[in-house]
A and B are shown apart, each in its own frame.
Chain A
Amino acid sequence: MKTRPHFLLVAFATLVFLFLVGPLVIIIGASLSDTSFLTFPPRGITLHWYQNIFEISAFRRTMVTSASLALIGTALSLLVGIPAAYALNRYRIELPPFLSTVFVLPILVPEIVLGFSLMKSITTTMGVPVYTTLIIGHALLVLPYCVRVVSASLSSFDFSIEEAAVSLGCPRWKAFFTIVLPNVKAGVIAAFILALITSINDVSVSLFLTGPGVSTLPIQLLAHMEQFFDPTIAAVSVLLMLVTVGVMAVVELTLGLTFLTK
């Protein structure tokens, strides 16, 4: 039996959760309002603002950019991150401990500093196109998630199973793809999903890496807010929340959401 917290504490926590959920409910309400300005509660229900998202070409374009960026950046990040996570767990004793710190570095450096530095060095000095630099930036941004989440699944994997396969004559690469990878599938999917949402929502890294014709959805959203203050922004926000709902459903199905508190 668990010791129950004092009812005042429970009341306090309830208020905190209302504080957390309230503003999101307000956005949903505001996105449905019949008025041309943002208001809550909505005065008459319309889906016009959702339709409006797809009529504004800047939103359409940046949605495609954000989605492609998230997919390519995450794929690249997993491509280098999974082998790294494997090496860190499999050869823990053989490899120097500082190596695992390397993959924490992208968290240690402020995102906005990373964005600014990439813009200066890669885009301006080396003349790399903005979109390519964006991919590099987003891949780096999500690399710590990829390495850490995959690492977390690998840490409970019994490598002697893989060794058994190898000693029975299975080539190493084949043992990896048929034995190791299927066992950490949930971790890889969770890493993929978390990285995807981090990339889609990113502001600070993308901030400096937008050029003529290239922008991401959150950056476009910020720009739109400065000029217009209509329920379209609320509608885009709700759309992004729906993406979050989808992401949470996948995480719940693969690792369980409690994984996020660890």
Chain B
Amino acid sequence: MRPRLLGWLLALPATLAVAVFLGLPVLSTLSTTVTQSDGVFATYSEFFGSGFRRTVLWRTTEIALITTLISALIGFITAYVVSRTPGRMKSLLIIAAVFPLLTGVVVRSFAWLIILGRNGILNEFLQWTGIITEPLSMLYTEGSVIVAMVYLFVPLMILTCVGVLEGIPEDLLQASSSLGASPFATFWQVIFPLAVPGLIVGAVLVFTGSFTSYATPHLLGGEAQMMMGTFLHQRAMVTFDWIGASTIAAIMTVVTIAIVLVMSKIARRLNPAAV
């Protein structure tokens, strides 16, 4: 058998699985939003015409952006320290980052439910220290969703950046300092530019992950802080408005794919060799 044909044959089952069980269902969901009888983009003008729906979209974008920025900042600095930590200690730190990542989203969001609840640990602690007298309502706020999301995504950011930072040769840093650059200058002028592609990959993962998340906004945001994921579920399973749910699904898909394409293009331009 010709090698090319054999290659195709071996790749065929997986390709078919993706086409039939991912491609067709998702395309059919997306297409129902433009094949409605009352105009091609009726569902979209309905979506963007509603103040409430715009608010949900805006809140989701805002929370995802803030989560991405905070995760990138904390994650990058931490990754830098991890990448410069010698031997055994480094493996330990990597384990400490991988462990939460492999622990489910529900479990990790649940932890914040115990911490931020009305009778939660933080409230009890603050009352014990006398800083507050009445428990604060921290759950079901934008802040609680962001804290839990940052908690979810920082490990991902750390691991993505450690991989890139480790690839930067030590000689380069020594050359920089031997030429008289301060550690600060070395960090910003040598390390940072070389690590940008990793930072971008991490940021894309964090943004798309938080933009499309369900469990965290559901648990920590509740009805008050509805995001696109929880909104989609509510439309589909509570009000059975499948067209409305499909519209939300379409917007989520378009935003996700657009972000991935644009950012990977930027990363490629910044560092053609790395990506």
Give residues in A with beta carbon < 8 Å to B: 2-6, 9-10, 12-13, 16-17, 19-21, 23-24, 26-27, 30, 37-40, 79-81, 83-84, 86-88, 90-91, 94-95, 99, 102-103, 105-106, 108-114, 116-122, 136-137, 139-140, 143, 147, 197, 200-201, 203-204, 207-208, 218, 221-222, 225, 233-234, 237, 240-241, 244-245, 247-248, 257-258, 260-262
Contact = CB atoms under 8 A, between A and B. Distances in A.
Contacts of B26: 109, 113-114, 117
| Interface residues of chain B: helix, strand, loop or mixed (majority) | helix
B219 A117 contact: no
B13 interface: yes
Given A80-B13, A261-B94, A102 B151 contact: no
A13 B82 contact: yes
B25 A12 contact: no
Given A88-B11, A94-B4, A241-B107, A2 B84 contact: yes
Given A4-B84, A91-B7, A103-B18, A40 B102 contact: no
Given A113-B253, A244-B103, A207 B233 contact: yes
Contact of B25 (A9, A10, A118): A118
14 contacts: A2-B170, A3-B177, A4-B84, A9-B77, A23-B108, A91-B6, A112-B232, A113-B232, A113-B252, A121-B24, A204-B212, A204-B214, A244-B103, A260-B98
B4 A118 contact: no
B85 to A, nearest CB: 8
Interface of B: 3-4, 6-11, 13-15, 17-19, 21-26, 28-29, 74, 77-78, 80-82, 84, 86, 91, 93-100, 102-108, 110-115, 117, 119, 121, 151, 154-155, 158-160, 162-163, 166, 170, 173-174, 177, 183, 186, 208, 211-215, 218-219, 229, 232-233, 236-237, 242, 245-246, 249, 252-253, 256-257, 260
A116 B8 CA distance: 31
B11 A83 contact: yes
Contacts of B246: 116, 120
B11 A201 contact: no
Contacts of A218: 104-106, 215
Given A13-B82, A81-B14, A95 B7 contact: yes
A126 B211 CA distance: 30
A91 B21 contact: no
A14 B80 CA distance: 12
A201 B105 contact: yes
Contact of A110 (B21, B23, B212, B236): B212
Given A112-B233, A222-B106, A120 B6 contact: no
Q: Which 10 A/B pairs are nearest by Cβ-Cβ distance?
A: A91-B7, A201-B104, A23-B111, A110-B212, A13-B81, A84-B14, A121-B25, A117-B25, A87-B10, A83-B10
B268 to A, nearest CB: 15
Given A103-B18, A240-B107, 9 more contacts: A5-B80, A23-B115, A84-B15, A90-B7, A91-B7, A109-B257, A203-B104, A208-B236, A221-B106
Nearest to A40: B121
B14 A244 contact: no
Contacts of B107: 27, 201, 221, 237, 240-241
Given A17-B93, A120-B25, A248-B102, A222 B82 contact: no
B229 A112 contact: yes
B94 A26 contact: no
A79 B111 CA distance: 36
A177 B218 CA distance: 46
B154 A16 contact: yes
A84 B13 contact: yes
Nearest to B255: A110
B31 to A, nearest CB: 11
A114 B253 CA distance: 10
Given A108-B257, A260-B159, A17 B28 contact: no
A109 B119 CA distance: 38
A20 to B, nearest CB: 5
A200 B13 CA distance: 24
Contacts of A258: 91, 94
Nearest to A124: B242
A3 B11 contact: no
A94 to B, nearest CB: 4
B215 A83 contact: no
A237 B215 CA distance: 15
A114 B77 contact: no
